[in-house]
Chains A and B, each alone.
Chain A
Amino acid sequence: MSLSVNDLIFGSLAIATVAAAVAAVEAKNLVRAATSLMIMSISLAGLYYMLNAGYLSAFQIAVYVGAVVSLILFTVMLFPPDEPSGKLSDDIAGVLSFVMVLIALVMMIVETAWIAGVRPVPIEPEVWSRTVSSLLLERYPVPLLVLALTLAAAFIGAITLAKTEKGEGEF
């Protein structure tokens, strides 16, 4: 079995995604963790692109790299350096849950009888955007409105939580 270019691209993107996720969880420095989250988002966007979801990969980069990671980076700069937790019981609980979740999910994937030879269906960008917009406006209009309200409420709530009261002291 020979490796095609697609397989190589998928392999490198998958390895980059998982390695960056490991670094995001395990990095000593929070700034490095946030940067690893950014690398993970970019490689995930590449995987989305391979799955014929080009607009979603652009959306992923815009939201994660543009908003979430920069928000995390600016917040991290407000705090003192991360002190290590260093509790052995926490680590044991974490590794146990990691192994259990991984075994359960991998067993589920392996045991499923996937239809062999199914490949991603190529889809024209115009058809994609027409279908998705009609889905959003005709089948899921209420979730769309709820999402808009959630975003508005979340950002107003974030500003209210983080703003300093007068005379509350400096931060």
Chain B
Amino acid sequence: MIPISYYMFVSAALMALGVYGLVSKRNFIRMLISIEIILNAANLNLIALTSYGIYPRIGSPDLGGHVMAMFIIGVAAAEAAVGLALAVSIYRTYRTINVREIRKLRG
């Protein structure tokens, strides 16, 4: 039997790795990948807490965390689509996707 804290340690490691990537990398697509890792860490936490029945159950099982995880996965897909389109658009203007070199705003 696996204690719930083990799942949360995995989630904490994923969250810390995502923050590390977001802070230290300057490639736009790599930063997007880090954001996806952070969102996955949040999902793992929500699903573990719900599945272990930490929340009170009234009559029927309470699966609110699973529903939230579904919403998060949907939003993550939208975010990836917009982020990658932005990367293509930025590359067309600046010929680079290094965010350190993208300083000027122009039409």
How many chain B residues touch the partner (CB < 8 A)? 72
Q: Once the chains bind, are B19 and A101 in contact (CB under 8 Å)?
A: yes
Interface residues of B in 84-98 (CB under 8 A from A): 84-89, 91-92, 97-98
How many angstroms between the C-alpha atoms of A98 and B38 in the bound complex?
12
Contact A6 B1 (CB under 8 A): yes
CA distance A119 to B52 in the complex (A): 6
Residue with the greatest number of chain B CB neighbours at <10 A, chosen from A17, A21, A117 = A21
- State which of B12, B32, B74, B87 has its C-beta within 8 Å of the C-beta of A147: B74
Question: Bound complex: CA of A17 vs CA of B9, how far in Å?
Answer: 12
Interface residues on A, range: 35 or more
Chain A contact residues, CB within 8 Å of chain B: 4, 6-7, 10, 14, 17-18, 21-22, 24-25, 30, 33-34, 37, 40-41, 44, 47-48, 50-53, 56, 59-60, 63-64, 67-68, 71-72, 75-76, 78-79, 82-83, 85, 87, 90-91, 93-95, 97-99, 101-102, 105-106, 109-110, 112, 114, 117-121, 123, 127-128, 131-132, 135-136, 139-140, 143, 147, 150-151, 154-155, 157-159, 161-162, 164, 168, 171
Report B-chain residues with C-beta under 8 Å of the C-beta of A114: 3-5
Residue from the list A44, A112, A132, A140 in contact with B40, Cβ < 8 A: A44
Residues of B within 8 A of A (CB): 1-21, 23-27, 29-30, 32-34, 36-37, 40, 43-44, 47-48, 51-54, 60-61, 63-64, 66-67, 69-71, 73-82, 84-89, 91-92, 97-98, 100
Would A157 and B47 be within 8 Å (CB), given that A24-B33, A30-B30 are in contact? no
CB pairs A–B below 8 angstroms (11 shown): A25-B34, A30-B27, A47-B10, A52-B51, A63-B77, A85-B25, A90-B23, A105-B12, A121-B53, A127-B60, A136-B70
Given A71-B80, A158-B84, CB of A109 within 8 Å of CB of B9: yes
Residues of A within 8 A of B91 (CB): 78-79, 171
Knowing A63-B73, A82-B27, A120-B51 touch, does A154 contact B66 (C-beta < 8 A)?
A: no
Contact status B53-A68, CB under 8 Å: no
Cα distance A34–B98 in the bound complex, in angstroms: 18
Q: What's the Cα separation between A89 and B48 when bound, in Å?
A: 36
Write the nearest CB–CB distance from A107 to chain B, whole angstroms.
10
Q: Flag if B51 contacts A51 (CB, 8 Å).
A: yes
